[in-house]
A and B are shown apart, each in its own frame.
Chain A
Amino acid sequence: MTDLSASHDARLSACPACDAAPLAQRWAEAGSRGQAPGDLILSLPTAHCAACITDVERALMAVPEVRSARVNLTLRRVAVDAPGLTAGDLIPVLDRIGFEAHELDPQALSSTAADRQGRDILMRIGVSGFAMMNIMMLSVAVWSGAEAATRDMFHWISGAIALPTVVFAGKPFFSAAWRGLKAGRMGMDLPIALAIILASAISIYETLQSGRHAYFDAAVMLCFFLLIGRYLDYRTRAVARSAAEELTALEVPRATLLQDGDEVAVPVADLRPGDLILIRPGARVAADGVIERGDSDIDRSALTGESIPVPAAPGAALSAGEVNLTGPIVLRVTAAGRDSSLARLTALVAAAESARGRYTSVADRMSRAYAPVVHILAFASLGFWLWKTGEARPALNIAAAVLIITCPCALGLAVPAVVTAASGRLFRRGLLIKDGTALERMAEIDTVVFDKTGTLTMGTPQLQSLRPLPVEMRPLAAALAGGSSHPLSRALAAALDGGTPAAVEDLREVPGHGVEARWNGLRVRLGRADWVGAEADAPGAATWLWVEGRPAIRLDFDDRLREGAEAAVLAIRRSGRRLLLLSGDHERSVVDTAARLGIDDWRAGVTPTEKAAIVNELTAGGARVLMVGDGLNDTGALAAAHASISPASALDAARVASDMVLLGGDLTPVAEALDVAGRSRKRIHENFAMSVAYNIVAVPFAMAGMASPLLAAVAMSASSICVTLNALRLR
């Protein structure tokens, strides 16, 4: 399991498509190696209430093969035990009762490993919390004036509780600090580990000497608060990782190879130029090639952003990633694997990815500046007091007090608390944050670039109006449209839904052209202009209905806007950010969409390389770009942008390349994310300011030798609580 999650942690490689193949194979093997069969996990972005739980579970249990179903509302997913069923069988069941569902890969979720880590941290929090409360009870007695033998006894009991706790609860910090030291890094963990060790050591020594001050409570409290920060951090990442990165691949990277008349399923990686492959209707083209036999319509939206399918005939060149719609075709492979256009697109992603990896978060910058300052202060006070008093004991005591007081309790909570509150809020609105620094980067955005097909629009056509179609022709149109799976036919059938289709005979689909039948003895056709003898007088998505002996009727389609697109665009415009629409589609439909949404700045017919180049250009000009896109043609731009969002319906490669994933179909959270990101950046800065202010007040006391365990305890808990409360204001 760990090797799977490890390969997913590496966010992107040079060629996601090449990686996908071995990954899918490993999943398949993991599945055959004694994994409980029939375990399905579906993500439920819209579930939110008690009734949703009951509805979903009841609907799933009503399916005979389902043995058990349990909704997890916190993670918005449902685990189903249904041997022999696939997610494809259950998604329609949920869709019927109004729940959107996406398949998650149970193997990749590796819930056991992640759960164990979370429970491990929780356990350490529980133990240190228990120890802290008991020690604090004894400490309060010491602070309020316990003397001599009583104080010593209380110190001894405190020590007996604190030392094992510190060893157990502080282990994550010790090991992280040790790893950091070996790698030559000075992170937050080193001062933390030093403070815990020094506080415990000094306290033991002082207790042995019947001294007045012991810092057992501080050592345990440090562990407690910092572990909470650690846990919040872990949770944010665990939720995002499990749900966003493991939405399963849309396609299994296999192709049907034609070998001496036999059909053989082979991994895409094994294809060689010159091979003949069969591509069935509805399947994705596995490699670049030229059509050898067969006519069809090709959906190129993922690669180019064109919203309308293009007809294809023998001799036409296809690229990997396109979808074959209507008829089976045989393709002669010209380039496969790393040479294919798909791989070239993903190379764009790899080039851009390294740029974003260099981003340093506020927390990193803070800790880089912070650790040396703390150590210098502690050493300075040690040296000063050694010189002043000539004794090691008070000097060490003061140095330990400085380290304890400056220990980044509040700093450790400052970022995780805010990120947890903000991502929790966005998650409730249907937006998943995949990357820890994504919120910070989102806050800096001043330019938003949208893709059109599949992002601002649904990528599925819609009949503009039924008016051109006379009422008596509608049953006929419904009958013809029902005979094809071409997107325009399906849109027409959906628009005519409700009427009874006319009785037609000899209904057949002519791939690449349209549908043909006989109706009352007349030949009727629904399809391309040149096929029905009409003039394609205006550009745009259209199909023609032709009845023998009559002029053909033109039916126009347009692309439906995604829900919330208008609201999101309006909110972004109001916020004063620059808006850009980059699409690979034809000018006419881009103009149309831009006008409907009120976007003035648009470019049509943009190739994937140009998209990435435009984003890079904007970045070079000082802009901070947010890219919102879904297609393979967007991946380069998604990776090159300062921050990026893709809808859950996007292709795998696009989702992998982006920082955030929209779980629902609604675009409104995009605008909200920008707003929340801005506010969370403000909260993070406030939190840092607050914890630094506490240190500025408390450190002089500590360095002057006036710090007491009481002061340390008060400063530490007060600053941690303030920081957490401030973060919670975001919810």
Chain B
Amino acid sequence: MDVLVFLIPVSLGLGGLGLLAFLWTLRARQYDDPRGDAERVLSDEWDDRPKPPEE
């Protein structure tokens, strides 16, 4: 059971990473236009990097 001493912090840390990633996507306005972003992948324009969002 001693392994729990490592495993619990590790799992919490991984979960926390996921949470941080989610908060980043939120701040980067990635939920403003989910359908448009899905379709933009198919377009030839802005192939090298995503078109920057408005503002």
List A residues at the B interface (Cβ < 8 Å).
49-51, 53-54, 57-58, 68, 70-75, 79, 81, 115, 118-119, 122-123, 126-127, 130, 133-134, 137-138, 150, 157, 161
Contacts and interface: CB of A to CB of B under 8 A. Distances in A.
Contacts of A72: 32-33, 36
A119 B26 contact: yes
Interface string B1-34: 1001000100110011011001100100001111
B51 A70 contact: yes
A663 B26 CA distance: 29
Given A134-B11, A150-B1, A157-B8, A74 B19 contact: no
Contacts of A115: 32
15 contacts: A50-B41, A50-B43, A51-B43, A53-B36, A70-B53, A72-B32, A81-B54, A118-B31, A119-B31, A122-B31, A130-B15, A130-B22, A134-B12, A150-B4, A157-B8
A287 to B, nearest CB: 40
Contacts of B1: 150
A126 B36 contact: no
A150 B8 CA distance: 12
A58 B51 CA distance: 13
Contact of B11 (A68, A75, A137): A137
A73 B40 CA distance: 10
Interface residues of B, number: 28
User: Max chain A CB contacts within 10 Å: which of B18, B22, B23, B36?
Assistant: B36
Contacts of B54: 68, 70, 79, 81
Given A50-B40, A74-B36, 5 more contacts: A70-B53, A71-B36, A119-B31, A126-B26, A134-B11
Contacts of B16: 130
Contacts of A68: 54
Contacts of B45: 54, 57-58
Contact of B42 (A50, A118, A138): A50
Given A49-B39, A134-B11, A137-B11, A126 B32 contact: no
B38 to A, nearest CB: 8
Top 3 nearest A-B pairs (CB, nearest first) are: A73-B36, A50-B39, A50-B42
Contacts of A53: 36, 39-40, 43
A303 to B, nearest CB: 40
Contact of A126 (B19, B39, B41, B42): B19
B49 interface: no
A53 B41 CA distance: 11
Contacts of A150: 1, 4
Given A50-B43, A157-B8, A134 B36 contact: no
A126 B24 CA distance: 11
A83 to B, nearest CB: 15
A74 B11 contact: no
A72 B38 CA distance: 11
Given A133-B15, A134-B11, A74 B39 contact: no
Contacts of B31: 118-119, 122
Contacts of A119: 26, 31
A292 B36 CA distance: 55
